[in-house]
């Protein structure tokens, strides 16, 4: 079985820059792929990295700000051109279908595959996906619009000495973007192997960060520390900060095992 990993397809915030596209990442667990958020540019990055979409069946959208969903219509029409026939499941709040359906009817009506929308309530912590080896839970976040993160759990069936079977959770990965500092998420993400937490701003932008309901690198590190996670990945950088090492500099004294997301990087979970 392949390793649990996350590939960064985009880690910028709303405004694309020369080096960062808006949010998107591919989570791989138990030989399955899950797309989390789909900002503009995600389909292009997937093509550049040679990521095949034939094993992708599930897409999770954290919220409806454009930097997290403007890439969807491009991806879904591309899949139509590739003559995809397997269904695609999209987990997002109900408004996404309302917004996307007219575009799909206009641009992708001749597609050969079904798109199945699964409405989720971003304000409620709940299991929204479950199969034999992977489950996904929502993580309610604090942002300007209804937003949730996602907690991925890898579960394996193990045989006990007496021959009976039990289930054991192995890797856990939490995606928390976009959000302002919120300790409410700590019990949900306690002890995860890897946490991706948005880090839009630096300490010097603290007031602006609160105003637009985002987090600083130091706040992301504080959450990682309180939740005793294994590793913290920072991302969702503001376009106003060109040198991403500044985020690391502010986070590391609070949580040492912190790394920077950059487009095309792959992290073990």
**Which residues belong to the active site?**
67
Residue 28 interacting with Zn ion (CB under 5 A): no
Q: Which stretch binds Zn ion (CB under 5 A): 90-98, 110-118, 150-158, 172-180?
A: 172-180
Instruction: Report how far residue 93's alpha carbon sits from residue 35's, in angstroms, rounded to the nearest whole number.
Output: 16
Of 34 and 237, CB closest to Zn ion: 237
Contact 46, 26 (CB under 8 A): yes
Site string for Zn ion, 39-78 (x = CB under 5 A): --------------------------x-x-----------
Among 178, 219, 250, 263, binds Zn ion (CB under 5 A): 178
Q: Which ranges of the chain would DSSP assign to H, the alpha helix?
A: 42-49, 66-69, 72-81, 95-107, 186-189, 206-211, 217-226, 245-251
Is residue 74 packed enough to be buried (19+ CB in 10 Å), middle (13-18) or exposed (0-12)?
A: middle
Looking up tokens 């976009």, which residue turns up?
A: 178
- Cα–Cα nearest to 215, from 247, 260, 242, 245: 247
Q: Which stretch binds Zn ion (CB under 5 A): 48-56, 119-127, 133-141, 170-178?
A: 170-178
* Binding residues for Zn ion, total number by CB under 5 A: 3
Of 7 and 20, CB closest to Zn ion: 20
Q: Which of residues 141-160 bind Zn ion (CB under 5 A)?
A: none
Q: Which residues bind Zn ion (CB under 5 A)?
A: 65, 67, 178
């Amino acid at each position: 079985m392949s390793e649990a990993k996350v590939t960064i397809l985009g880690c910028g915030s709303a405004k694309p820059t020369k080096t960062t596209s808006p949010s998107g990442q591919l989570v791989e667990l138990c030989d399955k792929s899950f797309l989390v958020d789909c900002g503009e540019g995600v389909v292009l990055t997937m093509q550049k990295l040679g990521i095949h979409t034939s094993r992708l069946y599930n897409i999770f959208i954290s919220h409806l700000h454009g930097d997290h969903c403007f890439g969807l219509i491009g991806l879904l029409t591309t899949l139509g051109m590739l003559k995809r026939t397997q269904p695609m499941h999209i987990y997002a709040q109900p408004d996404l279908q309302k917004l996307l359906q007219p575009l799909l009817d206009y641009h992708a009506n001749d597609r050969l595959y079904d798109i199945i929308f699964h409405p989720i309530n971003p304000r409620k912590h709940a299991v929204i996906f479950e199969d034999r080896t992977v489950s996904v839970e929502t993580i309610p976040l604090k942002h300007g619009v209804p937003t949730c993160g996602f907690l991925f759990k890898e579960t394996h069936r193990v045989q006990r000495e007496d021959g009976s079977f039990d289930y054991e959770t192995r890797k856990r990965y939490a995606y928390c973007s976009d959000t302002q500092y919120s300790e409410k998420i700590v019990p949900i993400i306690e002890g995860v192997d890897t946490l991706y937490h948005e880090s839009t701003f630096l300490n010097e932008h603290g007031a602006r960060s609160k105003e637009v309901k985002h987090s600083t690198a130091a706040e992301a590190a504080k959450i990682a520390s309180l939740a005793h996670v294994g590793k913290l990945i920072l991302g969702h950088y503001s376009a106003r900060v060109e040198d991403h090492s500044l985020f690391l500099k502010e986070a590391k004294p609070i949580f040492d095992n912190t790394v920077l997301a950059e487009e095309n990087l792959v992290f073990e979970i």
